[in-house]
Amino acid sequence: MPKIALIGAGSMVFAKKLIGDILSFDELSDSHIALMDIDKHRLTQTQRVAEAMVENEGLETTVSATLDRREALEDADYVLNMINVGGTEPFENEIRIPEKYGVKQAIGDTTGPGGIFRGLRTIPTILGLADDMEELCPDALLLNYTNPMAILCKAVFDATNIEVVGLCHSVPHTAEAIAEYTETPQDELEYWVAGINHMAWFLTCEHDGESLYPALKEAYDDEETYRKDTVRFEIMKHFGAFPTESSHHMSEYLPYIRTDDALIEEMAGTNFAERMPTATYLEGWLARSEERDDPELDVDLNEVSVERSEEYASRLIHSLETGTQRRFNLNVSNESNAIENLPADACVEVPVFVDGTGLHPASVGELPTQLAALDRQHSAIYELAVEGALEGNREKVHQAVKLDPLSSAACSLDELHEMTEELIEANADYIPDLEWPSKQNPERAVPADD
Lowest mean pLDDT among 42-56, 258-272, 347-361: 258-272
Asked if 437 and 393 touch (Cβ cutoff 8 Å), the reply is yes
Residues in contact with 73: Cβ distance below 8 Å, sequence separation at least 6, in sequence order: 5, 7, 34, 36, 79, 129, 132, 133, 136, 137, 140
Domain-embedded: residue 131: yes
Query: What average pLDDT does the segment 197-218 reach?
Result: 98
Cα pseudo-dihedral 335, 74, 317, 308, rounded to 10:
-130
State pLDDT tens for residues 161-185: 999 999 999 999 999 999 999 999 9
Which residues touch 238 (CB under 8 Å, ≥6 apart)? none
For the chain, what is the total number of helices (H) and then of strands (E)? 18, 13
φ and ψ of 349, to 5 deg: -110, 110
338 within some domain: no
Rounded-to-integer distance, Cα 138 and Cα 362, Å: 25
Whether the per-residue pLDDT at 91 is higher than 70: the answer is yes
Domain count, the chain: 1
User: What's the whole-number mean pLDDT along residues 230-238?
Assistant: 96
Query: Quick check: is 448 in a domain?
Result: no
Residue 355 pLDDT > 60, yes or no? yes
Residue 208 CA to chain centroid, in angstroms?
Answer: 32
Is 137 part of any domain? Answer: yes
Domain that holds residue 30: 3-168
Distance CA 415, CA 449 (A): 12
Tell whether 380 is covered by a domain: no
CA distance 70 to 131: 10
In a domain, 425, yes or no: no
Judge whether residue 445 has pLDDT over 80: no
Instruction: For the chain, give the mean pLDDT.
Output: 93
Please give the full DSSP string across 69-111, using - where no structure is assigned.
HHHHHTT-SEEEE----S-HHHHHHHHHHHHHTT---SS-SSS
Residue 155 placed within a domain: yes
pLDDT tens sequence across 98-154: 999 999 999 999 999 999 999 999 999 999 999 999 999 999 999 999 999 999 999
Q: Which residues are the active-site residues?
A: 169
Residue with more model confidence, 274 or 81: 81
Q: What would the pLDDT profile of 59-75 be if each residue is shown by its tens digit? A: 999 999 999 999 999 99
Rounded Cα–Cα distance for residues 199 and 235 (Å): 11
Domain of residue 52, CATH code? 3.40.50.720
358-369, pLDDT tens digit by residue? 999 999 999 999
Q: How many CB atoms lie within 10 A of CB 261?
A: 10
Q: Is residue 374 part of a domain?
A: no
Cα 325 versus chain centre, distance:
24
Q: Which of 42-46, 307-311, 360-364, 381-385 has the lowest mean pLDDT?
A: 307-311
Residue 209 CB neighbours (<10 A): 6
